[in-house]
């Protein structure tokens, strides 16, 4: 899986910050999900089921749609889907492609057009990265 991602002229964001920012834009951190998206990570059942049955992501069973409202299950399959998209069609993809593909589907990505989802993601990512920096500063001060 991806551990760190380079973005914005060599800035590095941790994988957990990226997942938190995704959860922020797809579910607004609502455990049950919002607007037709299930769970924290907003992953649909058919995608999670395919990841489970065909791609070997079997740490958590996904027998029912309701399973995706369990936070650990949702995060697990959201992270698995994100990792799969980052190597979509056998090519390493950049963060912008992967985020747009996660939100809208890989066939709907247009890296040349301005994407409101990408703008929201950048804003959320900055917010989570600032929190991480504050924790690190606090850890060194105390």
Q: How many domains does the chain have?
A: 1
- Domain of residue 124 covers 4-141
Tell me the per-residue pLDDT of 64-91, one tens digit each, with 9 for 90 and over: 999 999 999 999 999 999 999 999 999 9
Give yes or no for residue 95 having a pLDDT over 50. Answer: yes
Q: Which helix (H) or strand (E) holds 7?
A: strand 4-7
Query: How many CB atoms are closer than 10 A to CB 83?
Result: 16
Q: Which tens digits make up the pLDDT trace of 105-137?
A: 999 999 888 888 899 999 999 887 755 554 554
Here the CATH number for the domain that contains residue 14 is 1.10.530.10
For tokens 């973005």, what's the residue? 7
pLDDT category at 99 given cuts 50, 70, 90 is: very high
CA distances from 6 to 3, 14, 24, 133, 140 (A): 10, 9, 20, 16, 25
């Amino acid at each position: 899986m991806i551990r760190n991602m380079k973005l914005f002229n060599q800035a590095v964001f941790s994988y957990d910050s990226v997942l938190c920012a995704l959860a922020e834009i797809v579910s607004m951190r609502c455990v049950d999900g919002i607007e037709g998206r299930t769970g924290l990570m907003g992953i649909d059942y058919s995608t999670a089921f395919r990841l489970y049955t065909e791609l070997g992501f079997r740490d958590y069973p996904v027998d029912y749609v309701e399973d995706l409202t369990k936070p650990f299950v949702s995060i697990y399959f959201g992270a698995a889907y994100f990792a799969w998209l980052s190597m979509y069609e056998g090519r390493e993809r950049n963060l912008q492609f992967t985020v747009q593909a996660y939100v809208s589907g890989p066939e709907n990505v247009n890296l040349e057009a301005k994407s409101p989802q990408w703008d929201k993601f950048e804003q959320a990512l900055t917010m989570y990265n600032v929190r991480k920096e504050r924790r690190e500063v606090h850890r060194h001060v105390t």
